[in-house]
Amino acid sequence: MKTCAWCFGVMLLGCGLCPAQTPPAEKPSVTPAETTAAAPAEKPAEKHDDTPAKPREADPAVQQFFQTFGPYTYEIISVGPTDMHLAFRGWRGKRPEGADKEEKDAPPSGPGIGWFLWRCLATRPGDGSLEIRIRAEDLKEPLYLYSVDRAAAVFTVKHIVPQEKQTPLLDLLAKDTGDIEAMPLPDCDLDFWRDFRAGLTKVDSKAPEYADAMTAAKKAYDARRPGLIRKFSGSWLYYPAVGDARWSLHKKGDSLVAATGCSDLMYYAAFYIEMKKDERGRWIPVKISGFEGFKGE
């Protein structure tokens, strides 16, 4: 049976997250009324479904701009409530031999950059995390772009701002609080992963008794996603929003471990939220950890 690189990487074979491993689950033959009745009464709208949501469509203006060629200037106008005036030169497409040093030192760009950033930027105001103004010879007026959420702002800063200038901006968006634990890559520390897998048993994340646990895990991932991107992202792999990700749930002793992740043609990442019950019997996240690794070209 074929195993995808991500399933191999996260060491959770048979996790149900890999189409190559597991056939699509059959939909239960229940009526919508029965499905609603099975959900927790206090959270009737909550769906514990491992199937990702449909990704949002690209903003045509963002896509069109980055699919053309030539130099441009982009200016960070604001990061959150803080006004900024940081301007950089960028290049769409391969830089010519005569490009000046400033352009050669600019972050990676090209016609493909828009494909990666369309999930992050839009021409309509977003959540206020990041605002960018772009000028180019082929634009009659400046193009204003806005991050769709805070995680998208972190991803954008990491990929369009020169590395030596990133830290002050990232501190405003996702300050490193030290509460995210980095895990070793699966092929670098076999003993760690052997211990991690020991006693780990997959359970049904849709079962009523685990509904609160999955809700808590997804909220924890959503809250720390900007921090995960800051800590681990070293490629164009975009860590999906909670509704766009697939999930699995595992039991280990008196703890539950929710797992999610993502992959592209070259990189993969996995994240784990460990939870324990508090004195009131509620599942509380106690640790979030993860990694990003290179799986080959």
Stronger pLDDT, 205 or 65, i.e. the higher one: 205
> Residues 78, 113, 17, CA angle at the centre, nearest 5°?
100
Per-residue pLDDT at 81 exceeds 60: yes
| Token pair listed for 104 | 């050669």
Per the rule left: phi > 0, alpha: psi between -120 and 50, beta: everything else, 167 is alpha
Give the least confident one: 32-41, 55-64, 220-229, 279-288. 32-41
197 lies in which domain range? 5-23+177-294
Q: pLDDT value at position 44?
A: 43
Q: What is the pLDDT of residues 281-293, one digit of tens each?
A: 999 999 999 999 9
Residue 139 shares a structural domain with residue 190:
no
Q: Please classify residue 27 by burial: count the beta carbons closer than 10 Å to its beta carbon, then call 0-12 exposed, 13-18 middle and 19+ buried.
A: exposed
Residue 143 shares a structural domain with residue 181:
no
SS (H, E, C) the chain: CCCCHHHHHHCCCCCCCCCCCCCCCCCCCCCHHHHHHHCCCCCCCCCCCCCCCCCCCCCHHHHHHHCCCEEEEEEEEEECCEEEEEEEEEEECCCCCCCCHHHHCCCCCCCCHHHHHCCCEECCCCCCCEEEEEECCCCCCCEEEEECCHHHHHHHHHHHCCHHHHHHHHHHHCCCCCCEEECCCCCCCHHHHHHHHCCCEEECCCCHHHHHHHHHHHHHHHHHHHHHHHHHCCCCCCCCCHHHCCEEEEEECCEEEEEEEEECCCEEEEEEEEEEECCCCCEEEEEEEEEEEECCC
- Let me know if residue 241 belongs to a domain: yes
User: Which amino acid appears at position 128 of this protein?
Assistant: G
- The model's confidence at residue 56, banded by pLDDT at 50, 70 and 90, is low
Residue 277 shares a structural domain with residue 191:
yes
Residue 74 shares a structural domain with residue 137:
yes
- Let me know if residue 52 belongs to a domain: no
Q: pLDDT value at position 99?
A: 56
- Let me know if residue 53 belongs to a domain: no
Q: How many domains does the chain have?
A: 2
- Let me know if residue 153 belongs to a domain: no
Residue 204 shares a structural domain with residue 243:
yes
- Let me know if residue 221 belongs to a domain: yes
Residue range 121-130: mean pLDDT, rounded:
87
- Let me know if residue 184 belongs to a domain: yes
Residue 181 shares a structural domain with residue 290:
yes
- Let me know if residue 275 belongs to a domain: yes
Residue 142 shares a structural domain with residue 196:
no
- Let me know if residue 42 belongs to a domain: no
Could you give the angle at which helices 150-160 and 211-232 cross, rounded to 10 degrees? 20
Stronger pLDDT, 76 or 19, i.e. the higher one: 76
Residue range 2-28: mean pLDDT, rounded:
40
Read off φ and ψ for residue 36, nearest 5 degrees: -65, -40
Q: pLDDT value at position 269?
A: 96
Residue range 160-186: mean pLDDT, rounded:
90
Residue 134 shares a structural domain with residue 208:
no
Per-residue pLDDT at 84 exceeds 50: yes
Q: pLDDT value at position 113?
A: 59
Q: How far apart are CA 107 and CA 96, in angstroms?
A: 15
Sheet holding 255-263, edge to edge: 180-182, 283-294, 267-277, 255-263, 247-252, 201-203
CATH number for the domain that contains residue 249: 3.10.450.630
CB 3 within 8 A of CB 21: yes
How long a stretch of residues is the chain? 297
Per-residue pLDDT at 69 exceeds 90: no
Residue 283 shares a structural domain with residue 186:
yes
Q: pLDDT value at position 110?
A: 45
Residue 104 shares a structural domain with residue 204:
no
Q: What is the pLDDT of residues 221-245, one digit of tens each?
A: 999 999 999 999 999 899 999 988 9
Which among 232, 236, 209, 206 has a CA at the least distance from the CA of 221? 232
> Residues 239, 243, 245, CA angle at the centre, nearest 5°?
45
Number of CB atoms found within 10 A of residue 205's CB: 21
